[in-house]
Amino acid sequence: MKKIFSRPESLRDISTHYCSGCGHGIAHRLVAEVIDELKIRERVIAVAPVGCAVVAYDYWNFDCSEAAHGRALAVATAIKRVRPKNIVFTYQGDGDLAAIGANETIHAANRGENLSVIFINNAIYGMTGGQMAPTTLVGQKTATTQRGRAAQEHGHPLKISEMLGPLPGVKYVERVSLHSPQEVLKAKKAIKQAFQNQIGNIGFSLVEILSPCPTYWGLTPKKSLDWIRDVMVKEFPLGRIK
């Protein structure tokens, strides 16, 4: 019998700690598949965030560094500068990349660092128990906005991908989603583009991935996917930003 589907070499054969319906498992796998397909596993140095994906290095099968909360792009900048032949990427959530690490994000992008950034936007802080993220939607209930995010008090969702687009150092930004098999395939294509850009020395590339968090959205896994499709993409439109 011919084997037509298997675990990528870049993904270890162990179960993850993620909640049922969480998007991280899919995103981890997409990254691993792309790295296998591009045959760069032995060249990759990943930088993991602080957040639910902190132990991504337990699941991936290549070199990886942890970074302090928000500092992944500072860590990645230095790794890439001293080892330009390695393929360096960060994998960060919305709190890590768009709140505490917004400064590092903006400046790494503005310097045009030749890095690939995988940005998981699930509109909430997962690891700490479902607090408001910079990307939380107006009206969305979280542990720290129990009556819903109020724009007047908390501001509007921060669209950091759109903010980065105009910077000359930024070469590629695309927002994708994990809410359907079709969108997952598009997400993989975008991730691949971000890595190909780095291999081709094109420059700073970021893929924002809308990803479900059923646990802290208070929805079933299926309804979480529907919520992305029906609600979240209205605030965060999918497609190429730059």
Partner 1 sequence: MKVLISGNEAIAEGAIQAGCSFYAGYPITPQNEIPAYMSVHMPQAGGVFIQAESELAAINMVYGASATGVRSMTSSSSPGVSLKQEGISYIAGAELPAVIVNIMRGGPGLGNIAPSQSDYFQATHGGGHGDYRLIVLAPATVQEAYDFMSLGFSLAEKYRNPAMILGDGMLAQMMEPINIKKSRIKNQKYARPWALTGCRGRKPNIVKSFYMQEGDLEKFNLHLQEKYKTIEAQEQRHEGLFLDDAEIVLVSYGSMSRIAKGAVQRLREKGKKVGLLRPVSLWPFPKKAFGQIRVHPGGRLKFLVIEMSYGQMLNDVKLALNCKYPVEFLGRAGGGIPTEDEIIKRTLSLLSR
Binding site for partner 1 (CB under 8 A): 41-45, 47, 54-55, 57, 60-68, 71, 74-79, 81-83, 86, 103-104, 106-107
Cβ 134 vs Cβ 154: under 8 Å: no
Q: What is the DSSP string of 151-219?
A: HHHH-PPP-HHHHHTT-TTEEEEEEEE-SSHHHHHHHHHHHHHHHHHHHTT--EEEEEEE---HHHHTS
CB of residue 70 vs partner 1: minimum separation in angstroms?
A: 8
DSSP for residue 54: G
User: CA nearest 125: which of 146, 96, 165?
Assistant: 96
| Cβ nearer to partner 1, comparing 17 with 156 | 17
Q: Which is nearer to partner 1, 66 or 162 (CB)?
A: 66
CB of 42 to partner 1, least distance (A): 4
**CB-CB neighbours of 223 under 10 Å:** 14
- Of 37 and 58, nearer to partner 1 (C-beta) is 58
Closest CB 84 distance from partner 1, rounded Å: 10
For 4, 5, 89, the CA distances from 1, given in Å and listed in that order, are 9, 12, 37
Q: Which is nearer to partner 1, 22 or 178 (CB)?
A: 22
Whether the CB-CB separation of 214 and 27 falls below 8 Å is answered with: no
Q: Retrieve residue 31's tokens.
A: 């990254």
Q: Return the number of the residue (127 or 219) whose C-beta is nearest partner 1.
A: 127
Task: Considering only CA atoms, give the Rg of the chain.
Answer: 17
Shortest distance, position 63 Cβ to partner 1, whole Å = 4
Question: Considering beta carbons, is residue 60 or 236 the nearer one to partner 1?
Answer: 60
Q: How far is the CB of 72 from partner 1 (least distance, A)?
A: 9
Quote the least distance from Cβ 207 to partner 1, whole Å.
Answer: 21
